[in-house]
Structure 1
Amino acid sequence: MPIMLWDASLDIGVAAMNQEHQKILDAMNQIHDARAEGKSGQAVNDLVARLGAVCISHFADEEAYMARIGYPELERHKQLHKRLLEQFGQHAQAIKAASGRPTDEFFHFLKFWLSSHIKGIDMRYGPKAA
């Protein structure tokens, strides 16, 4: 069962960014499903690393998009991305130290991060905000 499903409330009005947000959501759900299936170890660590890579790529794309449209809060948004990646890295290290066993706290972080960041922060740069 997925931790979170895509719905219209996550649509920021920028197709490329929506697609990338969906990839992040898919990667999150794969980790959640793996835990629900009792998986751990390197298989889960690989899924966590994949999520990290998807996020890094997305943040770079999103920041480039914001630069292209002259988004005035770009530097602030970059700092938010940096903090999120730091927090994600701490969780990833903890999962690795726990032999690939993610905690409920990790999933809470992911769900809160994705929904609040997209709905509260990313909506500001989409056409819907204009």
Structure 2
Amino acid sequence: MDTSWNTRYDTGIRIIDEQHQELFRIVEALRRMVQDGTRRTEVEALLEDLVTCSERHFATEEGIMARYGYPDLTQHVSEHATMLTSLHELLAKFQESDQAMAMLVPTFMEGWLKHHISDGDFGFVTFLKARNLA
């Protein structure tokens, strides 16, 4: 499965694109670590980093959306909250069980990232471009 960044996910907003790329890098690193049998503590640290980076990214997106009065902000914030809840649950499950659980995280994140960027973030980018803000 390809978890690498692809230019089709470029939004044209540099900070958002950089953060998306960082999330893709973490997901790919996590996939490699699990496949290579990396120590549990290292995998857990990377999972925690994924949660932190996701929280930071969502705050960045939501701040930009609020600043420009994006009409679908509430829906987008709700999607972010659901995602963070899922990530926290996956981290907790990993902490309770073995590394097999960790393989679910990159699969889950990859699907979510691709869907969210394509369906959620591009709606915001279209909104900004229509107003000559991006």
Does TM, scored on the shorter chain, surpass 0.5? yes
8 Å Cα contact 2:34/2:99 also seen in 1: no
Equivalent AA in structure 2 for residue 88 of structure 1? L
Q: Residue 3 and residue 49 in structure 1: after superposition, are their counterparts in 2 closer, same or farther (change >3 A)?
A: farther
SS of residue matched to 1:70: coil
List runs of 5+ in structure 2 lacking aligned partners.
Answer: none
Identify the range of structure 1 (2-11 vs 84-93) with the bigger mean alpha-carbon deviation: 2-11
Q: Report the counterpart of residue 66 of structure 2 in structure 1.
A: 67
Counterpart of 1:80? 79
Which runs of no fewer than 5 residues in structure 1 stay unpaired?
Answer: none
| Contact 1:31 1:47 survives alignment (8 Å) | yes
Match of 2:28 in 1: 29
- CA distance in structure 1 between the aligned counterparts of 2:99 and 2:64, rounded to whole angstroms: 34
Alignment of 1:87-126 (within 5 A): 87-126=86-125
Sequence identity percentage:
24
Deviates most, 4-13 or 18-27: 4-13
* Between 107-116 and 53-62, the greater mean CA deviation after superposition: 107-116
Q: After the TM superposition, which of the residue ranges 71-80 and 94-103 deviates more from structure 2?
A: 94-103
For 2:30 and 2:5, how far apart are their aligned partners in 1?
16
**Greater relative contact order (Cα < 8 A, sep 6+):** 1
| TM, length-normalised to structure 2 | 0.87
Matched residue SS, 1:13? coil
Return the TM-score normalized by structure 1.
Answer: 0.90
The size of the alignment, in residue pairs, is: 129
Could you tell me how far 1:129 is from its partner in structure 2? 6.1
Q: Classify the secondary structure of the residue corresponding to 1:109.
A: helix
- More displaced 10-residue stretch of structure 1: 58-67 or 32-41: 32-41
Matches of 1:101 and 1:40, distance apart in 2: 12
